[in-house]
Structure 1
């Protein structure tokens, strides 16, 4: 099939007008080189190229006005807001909350030629009607009404300030160049064509038109005989219900006939094509990227250079994973879409520093460990640090300290000289200046373009922000948001050849282009088409009444782009992200469902939905982990059992997960303890255990139960297990919760002590938070058995071991009918209590013994005692049987060379030969 731009070049070439006297207007700049390439294929000798412009350039030339950048518009709006609102004007931090939405509304009204005065007058009347009949409107309602009264003045003053600087909004440029409905006058058009040295004008490849664009088309056709080329297909043009053809059908019915010849008899590309459509599904961005790379790898078998292949990414976040997933050996790949600067390492490093200072500002002078560590380990932050210390070692010292927050003085002491960026600043301008200087020094030392270009763009954004920044003091949070907005204006551009090899681009960049093979990803609802969540202060009915675009209009435009893109393709792959985010984005795009119904009825189209398709390389599959017990491992095990000892918790770990037992007990490898701002459950438990130890040791020494010791004991526990915490925010709540739990438990325990409830009187405290050890002899092996009992009480007729739990448990976990049950991983708490009783029996002969759990979550509940065959007292003969039936077999199992240390899901599986 002939590509659209090839047809355009062929028909224009056939006209009598010399090519160099032809002017062509396109909807985007991306198609310009493609059209020149199409002309190149039409001529056999050197000729001068026609003049080709994107529509924005034409409008700017006619208007003799440049559009203001987004950040410049924001600054002008802020200045206008201060003038209009006067004493009621808001600081920049508050202004930034609503200004982007107002700017978006202003821009849309300008682009579509809407009378802003009339719109805001209507909004004011709607707000007044909502308040009608109320005895006393709320303050918020009165503020909203006042806002609607002030917005017309803000709109006027905003545009006056833009005019004074020689700027306009992008929509304002269009209105100035081609005011609707008449468009530019004949004299202006002919003068513009004379300047461009053109005699014939063409509009190529447009779809939906703004009022200004429509007026330009009509005026140019009427006065200078302009023509238009439209890219349409009978499939959606001739179906009045098909959204993809909405705009083109409107043009066919309302534009002059001389402009719409293509639309009156559209070609039937889809119904006569031979094309394959394939739907693939994968999970998350990485899964989509890997599937995309695999598809490209298969395509390369037939077309090694991937000529005529286009990858269209509807989500810019897929770009980096896709680049990393491209098949090896691919020589040519042209990336037209820019990579967001906010996705680069350079931006992430600077943003980490902004976040750090924003957190210090909010927490009244302390740095959270999490953000502090992030700046220590980020390579860009490390490069901007000019001191002599190793920041990786600094990060390790921060981690070992277990402090969740650090004062600025302590941080500077750790960093030493060169750590000024981590210090305090009297205002944000000083920080911005130092940061710009440090980044400039970093950029000077870069040689890799992949690193240097994003860093250079970040440096430009910092400089623009510093120059732009108003005199008023800004918070670090506001500075961070502004820096992100500046960075969003500067994508990282790639350089490549647009006519060779693989082409990667965004959906809007595909306008007027054709590909033989297409891969679109991700084709999900909420992405293609986008969700209807664009912020606006103007409600749906007002937008419709004044001819402003509605969500369904934007969806119709997206539908046209997708259908136009596939109408001449030979192979199309739709990649769907199958993972739901809970908001519908795991659902396949409606365009897929629509095409699946519409297209297979054509004889040349084959449709296939393959679901999850990803080849699994057996060599790369992660097999369940296991470790055989070699002689060296067994020797190490015996040594550990004799020297380090076996505790109830390590026995439970072995029964629950032998692989974890091997890592911890044999190798001594433990999971890194996280340092968090919030108290983890184990930290809360350790602090409450410290309170328990303090109160009972004092009671053991004095005989007095002192609840007044709780605050100091709690503070000491926090200092030991959760140092460096803040005295505000969630921590205050957590501290109060701990205090309440400790006080409730202490009050209830004090009452039990006073009344003797639940105890065999007389009684006394024997040990509190003490280690008890003994030796278990099995053949020639002496195993060191140990455990730390929270509390041991001596009763008149026996001994009681009490284990304190700050978490939850089920009483059924403490009921044992046979000793063999204790080897079940689900009976870990019962095994722990039985072991405590057995350890105590080796030091206190006779007995009997009992062991139980005191739940601090339920302080009024009595101790939940371990029961064996319904009896809470454990006799000496039962403990001797426990030693023979549980401890001996358990140690034998640990030392059994035929049983490897394996992850739980691997246990019981047969080994492959």
Structure 2
């Protein structure tokens, strides 16, 4: 395969150019590696390599300025800003950094495109006055400060650029402008060397001017890589820039234009594949690579180009194991490394100083992969102990003292993680570096297994060292929040570089790394609108129309840059796989790129379209079936001897497998921390409060005065039981406060209902509260004793009628206590579990032997108290005109007993397995 670089070298060799005496300028450092490789192929004998520069390095050489990173630029700019801005109008560094980064980008554009700062900043200032407040004779202080800011931009720019030049530093645009200033001096002192520029496309004005100056002085050659299919087409974005240079540069009026090639129209296999989601694309890339391997296709001339570079990790995880030669040209962003989440959590809890921390934040930190090993002592990890204590005591907020009390051994670690940073930047940096040292000491105990983790740690240590140096040199960071802002900026720019052989195997790269390089097989991912091209984004103080006026690049030029790279990638390729995300989501929208549509409309190549749907195996989740082995039956016998409770029996009715897990295996659901009071907690508090109120009156008739006395103690008693049941949970604010007030309202409403009943001439005698019962059942079919047990919330006698009452904090409908067919009571949990429960209480109390009065059983629902006492009833048929029996009699209780007995026999039957029910 003849690549663009090899064609250039052949042309230079053919013209008998002394290759050793050349200065090669390329769009990227990466291209220099491939240039040297191609150079070694065409030379028959050893030669000195020409000087090879990326365009940025070449321009930096011309300017004699040193490039510095964005964070240092911010600090240097803030120095200038503080000098030029009155103290009463100065922003702090954190606020300044948010708008200054955008402004530096604008300065960069202005310099790269050689725009007169005088005209553009005066123009911007005038626009703000015209658009907003120029007609206001008495502007507010805010308005005056705003307009004053725009007027000072020109001063900021001049002072900032002078400040940087005096220190020998520069941002990219300033370096370009200074390079242009020095180009004539450079030409005079470099007359013996020929410069070769190759593979360029979108040049800024400074680059254009520098290259033209060298061309006009016969010190340069330039090789373009453009296909005639784009060059000759009208309004094709791929040739937007190159055709402009061809038309406008004086050099090409008298000199040849190298080159317009003819590769794109040659036969190619182009597959356009729609794949759902980014992970789906990663997995399908693996399929493509496997197919290439199966067809004996070598991967040395294959490139995997990630349109969305965030796919790097899922793609690497999907690369087939048989691919051992792999080169990754992009770095792994430091922000994607697991260690980044640890420091993110730390900054989160320390940005707002506090003596205690939200339990989830604490557990997020302690359960982090880099922290958990530090809690290990011998065979015990104290994280489990801490988690259990937090859950047992319902600790929503935790202090260092709490943690030390739970695990005194780790006092120093807890202080390193959670000691208050006091909003002090130096202390924050010191604590972070101390933590890194602790983690390092733990990892080095098993160095071989932790090589990668130690590498991560090294990079974060370097990052915090840089922050420490910046803080000591500039001292502008005055809060943890401002430190976090700078930390985030540094984190976003730092990468962990991969090691690999740059010329062997599969090449994994981003779109910009592909400049000048050619491959026989190209796989391009994420070819969606908003990614390729990136779409309309405006991160600038300079309005769109002002950019047009001053010939600054807009999204149109940015789209053209991506169009050139996309088409150049497939220009010489023989096999092209283009993947796009078919799924609609908030960011990408699931729309394929206009580049794909353009390929279709050109009708030059036959394009194979397909949409890939992942193979989802049909998974059947068979219902669990547990046979009743001897050990299971033994457990059931043991449980029967202790006593079946009504709730246990109804859990079997609802789903036998739940009964098996909870009662036979004794597996309990894990208790979670109640941030918001749970329904069962609310119910417990109501039960406990009413038990305390009514227990002193057992065996007595209650009076209205008794009820009034209870009402005066509602607040105190409810608070006591909240603290007892909810432990250290906070009920002073938010939803918990509302639920606390609801509990008091429920009890007050219940007492009001009771008082009204008494005032209407009714009598109520309290027979029992929270009465525990246990009854042995007569079941001849079973050879072992069976008991029924349960606690009745309240038994009273109202106007001579005994009532067995169950309290429910939730809503209960009256029809759920009315039964027609007895067999339904042990089959329909949702409808009849309440009836089952209250009838069980009546049965185990042996009511007909204890009471001579009429007996009713039922529920008081606190959510619909207006319904009063909801009685159980037996109906003879459905409908409104059915006859109801609301008082218990022996026949009703015997009918229920028969159903209960059959249910227990089924539970104990060795031939009937525990079979899971489908719960809807």
User: Given the two structures, how large is their TM-score scaled by the length of structure 1?
Assistant: 0.86
Q: How far does residue 752 in structure 1 lie from its aligned partner after superposition?
A: 1.6
For the 8 Å contact 2:639–2:663, the answer to whether it is kept is: no
The residue aligned with 2:701 is none
For the 8 Å contact 1:694–1:713, the answer to whether it is kept is: yes
Compare 378-387 and 106-115 and name the one that shifted more: 378-387
* Residues 810-869 of structure 1 deviation map (CA, whole Å, 9 limit, x = unaligned): 8876676545555666x526414432333234315256434346254x776767777664
1:515 aligns with 2:514: no
* Residues 405-463 of structure 1 deviation map (CA, whole Å, 9 limit, x = unaligned): 11222223334342230323443412422431442454462444422222111000011
* Residues 617-644 of structure 1 deviation map (CA, whole Å, 9 limit, x = unaligned): x9xx685563442515642662464257
Compare 44-53 and 830-839 and name the one that shifted more: 830-839
1:202 aligns with 2:196: yes
Cα distance in 2 between the residues matched to 1:36 and 1:259: 32
Q: How far does residue 533 in structure 1 lie from its aligned partner after superposition?
A: 4.7
Q: Secondary structure at the match of 1:49?
A: coil
Cα distance in 1 between the residues matched to 2:53 and 2:696: 92
**Aligned 1:47-66 pairs, distance under 5 A:** 47-66=47-66
The residue aligned with 2:436 is 439
Q: Secondary structure at the match of 1:741?
A: helix
**Aligned 1:68-107 pairs, distance under 5 A:** 68-85=68-85, 86-107=87-108
Cα distance in 1 between the residues matched to 2:5 and 2:253: 17
Please, which of 561, 571, 578 is the counterpart of residue 574 of structure 1? 578
**Aligned 1:378-417 pairs, distance under 5 A:** 378-382=368-372, 390-396=381-387, 397-416=389-408, 417=411
1:299 aligns with 2:292: yes
The residue aligned with 2:217 is 223
Compare 411-420 and 756-765 and name the one that shifted more: 756-765
Cα distance in 1 between the residues matched to 2:401 and 2:200: 62
For the 8 Å contact 2:111–2:177, the answer to whether it is kept is: yes
Q: How far does residue 166 in structure 1 lie from its aligned partner after superposition?
A: 1.8
1:365 aligns with 2:355: yes
Cα distance in 1 between the residues matched to 2:531 and 2:172: 25
1:849 aligns with 2:856: yes
The residue aligned with 2:530 is 526
**Aligned 1:154-165 pairs, distance under 5 A:** 154-165=156-167
Cα distance in 1 between the residues matched to 2:668 and 2:464: 43
Question: Can you give the 5+ residue segments of structure 1 that lack an aligned partner in the other structure?
Answer: 908-913
For the 8 Å contact 2:277–2:583, the answer to whether it is kept is: yes
Q: How far does residue 53 in structure 1 lie from its aligned partner after superposition?
A: 1.0
Change (3 A) 1:390 1:294: same
The residue aligned with 2:692 is 697
1:498 aligns with 2:495: no
Q: Secondary structure at the match of 2:357?
A: strand
Q: Secondary structure at the match of 2:327?
A: strand
Compare 455-464 and 133-142 and name the one that shifted more: 133-142
Cα distance in 2 between the residues matched to 1:758 and 1:178: 100
Cα distance in 2 between the residues matched to 1:504 and 1:718: 60
Cα distance in 1 between the residues matched to 2:54 and 2:163: 27
Cα distance in 2 between the residues matched to 1:134 and 1:25: 55
Q: How far does residue 321 in structure 1 lie from its aligned partner after superposition?
A: 2.5
Cα distance in 1 between the residues matched to 2:164 and 2:276: 48
Cα distance in 1 between the residues matched to 2:559 and 2:358: 44
Q: Secondary structure at the match of 2:75?
A: helix
Change (3 A) 1:517 1:88: same
1:258 aligns with 2:252: yes
Cα distance in 1 between the residues matched to 2:831 and 2:479: 52
* Higher alpha-carbon Rg: 2
Compare 865-874 and 61-70 and name the one that shifted more: 865-874
Q: Which runs of 4+ in 1 moved over 6 A?
A: 134-139, 259-265, 384-389, 757-760, 808-815, 858-861, 863-867
Question: Can you give the 5+ residue segments of structure 2 that lack an aligned partner in the other structure?
Answer: 698-705, 849-853
For the 8 Å contact 2:523–2:578, the answer to whether it is kept is: yes
**Aligned 1:410-425 pairs, distance under 5 A:** 410-416=402-408, 417-419=411-413, 420-421=415-416, 422-425=418-421
Cα distance in 1 between the residues matched to 2:93 and 2:530: 32
1:172 aligns with 2:174: yes
Q: How far does residue 492 in structure 1 lie from its aligned partner after superposition?
A: 0.4
Please, which of 558, 568, 571 is the counterpart of residue 562 of structure 2? 558
1:240 aligns with 2:234: yes
Change (3 A) 1:30 1:805: farther
Cα distance in 2 between the residues matched to 1:370 and 1:213: 54
Change (3 A) 1:246 1:21: same
Q: How far does residue 465 in structure 1 lie from its aligned partner after superposition?
A: 0.9
Cα distance in 1 between the residues matched to 2:141 and 2:873: 65
Cα distance in 2 between the residues matched to 1:135 and 1:878: 91
Cα distance in 2 between the residues matched to 1:867 and 1:263: 100
For the 8 Å contact 1:377–1:395, the answer to whether it is kept is: no
For the 8 Å contact 1:775–1:785, the answer to whether it is kept is: yes
For the 8 Å contact 1:27–1:511, the answer to whether it is kept is: yes
User: Given the two structures, how large is their TM-score scaled by the length of structure 2?
Assistant: 0.85
Q: How far does residue 214 in structure 1 lie from its aligned partner after superposition?
A: 1.6
Q: Secondary structure at the match of 1:271?
A: coil
Q: How far does residue 39 in structure 1 lie from its aligned partner after superposition?
A: 1.9
For the 8 Å contact 2:795–2:802, the answer to whether it is kept is: no
Cα distance in 1 between the residues matched to 2:777 and 2:207: 91
Q: How far does residue 237 in structure 1 lie from its aligned partner after superposition?
A: 3.7
Change (3 A) 1:373 1:425: same
For the 8 Å contact 1:105–1:538, the answer to whether it is kept is: yes
For the 8 Å contact 2:376–2:382, the answer to whether it is kept is: no
Cα distance in 2 between the residues matched to 1:46 and 1:32: 18
* Residues 61-117 of structure 1 deviation map (CA, whole Å, 9 limit, x = unaligned): 011001221110121222233233322223334334433333333333333333445
Q: Secondary structure at the match of 1:240?
A: coil
Compare 302-311 and 816-825 and name the one that shifted more: 816-825
Cα distance in 2 between the residues matched to 1:139 and 1:888: 85
Q: Secondary structure at the match of 2:265?
A: helix
1:460 aligns with 2:462: yes
1:349 aligns with 2:363: no
Q: How far does residue 794 in structure 1 lie from its aligned partner after superposition?
A: 4.6
Compare 342-351 and 524-533 and name the one that shifted more: 524-533
For the 8 Å contact 1:203–1:229, the answer to whether it is kept is: yes
- Number of equivalenced pairs: 879
Q: How far does residue 33 in structure 1 lie from its aligned partner after superposition?
A: 0.7
Please, which of 891, 898, 902 is the counterpart of residue 888 of structure 1? 902
Cα distance in 2 between the residues matched to 1:525 and 1:768: 70
For the 8 Å contact 2:632–2:664, the answer to whether it is kept is: no
The residue aligned with 1:539 is 543
Q: Secondary structure at the match of 1:300?
A: helix
Cα distance in 1 between the residues matched to 2:311 and 2:844: 64
Change (3 A) 1:513 1:464: same
For the 8 Å contact 1:711–1:739, the answer to whether it is kept is: no
Q: Secondary structure at the match of 1:756?
A: helix
Q: How far does residue 669 in structure 1 lie from its aligned partner after superposition?
A: 3.2
Q: How far does residue 60 in structure 1 lie from its aligned partner after superposition?
A: 0.4
The residue aligned with 1:3 is 3
Cα distance in 1 between the residues matched to 2:257 and 2:902: 89
* Residues 151-209 of structure 1 deviation map (CA, whole Å, 9 limit, x = unaligned): 33333333343234321111211122126xxxx64432343x46xxx622222112222
Cα distance in 1 between the residues matched to 2:596 and 2:311: 23
Q: How far does residue 661 in structure 1 lie from its aligned partner after superposition?
A: 4.8
**Aligned 1:315-334 pairs, distance under 5 A:** 315-334=308-327
Cα distance in 2 between the residues matched to 1:534 and 1:4: 34
Cα distance in 1 between the residues matched to 2:227 and 2:814: 72
For the 8 Å contact 1:628–1:897, the answer to whether it is kept is: no
